[in-house]
Amino acid sequence: MNAYIESLLSFVPELEEYPEYNPPSDAGEVKAVTFKMPSFFGKDYESFAYIGFPKTKEKTVPAVVLVHGALGHAHHSWVRLWNMRGYAAIAIDMEGYYPEKTDMASVPVDGFIPFVYGAYGPFAHENVADSPKNDAMNSMDKPLEEQWMFHSIAKAILGHNILRNDKRVDKVGICGVSWGSVITSLAIGYDTRFDFAVSIYGGGYMFENKGFCGNKYREANVFGDNYFAEKRFGVVKTPTFFLCAAQDTAFSIDANSLSYEAVQAANGKSLFGIVEKFKHGQLAAMERIEPFIYADVFCKGAKELIGFSEKPKGREVSVGVFGDVLEAKAYYLTAPISFDLGAEDPMMRTGEVPKECACTISGGKVLCDIPDSAYMYYITLRGEREGRDYFVSSPVVICE
């Protein structure tokens, strides 16, 4: 697999446009396109995407590859959000879905378009196969070209090439949601050219992940090095923000903390954020400000975000922080993270609600006393940018 992925780094697909599927946009021009992928072991594949450029007088703009999760598609409204921030963006369908024919003029600029699986009508081309569906890693026993995750990594890299090869683009990042965060975490290890990355909800260390998606990795008995992002975290040059939800049922914060610490050790510019009462989903992820302001640091020279200068340790915490920290809170759990993996609805599982512990900020340090009952804890800082709160957290600390 490594040799094939390496061959993708220099391959720039040509785009075929489908103007009748262009959605409306008030932030730039968003186009419906397809691009052919290199033959996978004798089979040809094609992918659908929405690509958009912002309204601007600038000669060049930064750009981002957008990677959706399960039940998601190439969301034009996600492209629009980044266009509104002055970024070009490409949202790629990570499976084999295409927009269902609809009246594009009536589609809301911030809405979703219905998609159908399988190339049809103008999208159907002779001898071109449909990309595999998201099978939650259950294609591990199939040939490489039939594995959904293999196709997804390839598409993320090709989307990067499409943007980077455009003369209107100067820097390129990547942002993934849910299963897209797993793809993002893998892609930055295979393709180290990204200028920033935002991994929302998940990351690497999937066997350590106690949530739904980690369970899918274990059920599928994923093996080898191909799909374990942590195997390549040591070479990741890309500053990465791992943004996750405190009580997510798909990904657990302890695994995300491991991902952050590994990538931070490799590049020293990464961040970790655990957000309380953050729901899991594409819409919830699109509403967060952290991806945009983090990208601005590396693409627009924006002021660095707040953060920790060291990792907390022990129960009597005195940890260095930097930036304009407005507030600090400590959260702790009294037992290891666990979920009821046998629940009828796996996305409705509940775990222990993190308990809050008071903190003070003095002399560039956060001070707090973690209760003896705590098994693990983390500290979250609150900052403000553009009139909105954003959050940066410490790694998760297991109490001795």
In a domain, 310, yes or no: no
Mean pLDDT, 10 residues at a time, the chain of 400 residues: 88 96 95 92 92 95 98 97 98 97 92 96 94 93 91 97 97 98 98 98 97 94 95 97 94 97 97 96 97 98 97 97 98 90 62 90 97 97 98 95
List Cβ neighbours of 284 (8 Å cut-off, separation of 6 or more): 278
Residue burial 211-237, b: 16+ Cβ < 10 Å; e: rest: bbbbbbbeebebeeebbbbbebbeebe
List Cβ neighbours of 286 (8 Å cut-off, separation of 6 or more): 77, 78, 81, 177
Domain end, chosen from 305, 326, 346, is at: 305
- The position carrying tokens 């081309």 is 125
Q: Do 258 and 294 share a domain, yes or no?
A: yes
Q: Do 160 and 80 share a domain, yes or no?
A: yes
Residue 170's DSSP bridge partners are none
Q: Do 247 and 330 share a domain, yes or no?
A: no
Q: Do 264 and 363 share a domain, yes or no?
A: no
In the three-class reduction of DSSP (H, G, I as helix; E, B as strand; rest coil), residue 369 is classed as strand
Q: Do 251 and 366 share a domain, yes or no?
A: no
Residue 104 has which token pair?
Answer: 């594009």
Angle between helices 179-190 and 148-164 in degrees, nearest 10: 60
Answer whether 0.85 is exceeded by the pTM.
Answer: yes
Q: Do 298 and 321 share a domain, yes or no?
A: no
Q: Do 368 and 274 share a domain, yes or no?
A: no
Q: Which domain holds residue 343?
A: 316-398
Q: Do 292 and 321 share a domain, yes or no?
A: no
Q: Do 342 and 227 share a domain, yes or no?
A: no
Domain count, the chain: 2
pLDDT for residue 197:
98
DSSP 78-147: HHHHHHHTT-EEEEE-SSSEEEPP--GGGS-TTS---EEES--GGG--TTEEPPPP--TTTTTTS-GGG-
- The position carrying tokens 């699986």 is 117
Which own/partner contact pairs does 181-186 have at CB distance under 8 Å and 24+ positions apart? Answer: 181/67, 181/69, 181/251, 182/149, 182/206, 182/213, 182/229, 183/67, 183/94, 183/149, 183/152, 183/153, 183/156, 184/67, 184/156, 185/229, 185/240, 185/259, 186/149, 186/153, 186/227, 186/229, 186/232
Q: What is the CATH number of the domain that holds 140?
A: 3.40.50.1820
In a domain, 276, yes or no: yes
pLDDT for residue 350:
63
Cα–Cα distances in Å, from 17 out to 96, 217, 248, 294?
17, 36, 38, 31
Q: Exposure of 104 by Cβ count < 10 A (0-12 exposed, 13-18 middle, 19+ buried)?
A: middle
In the three-class reduction of DSSP (H, G, I as helix; E, B as strand; rest coil), residue 360 is classed as strand
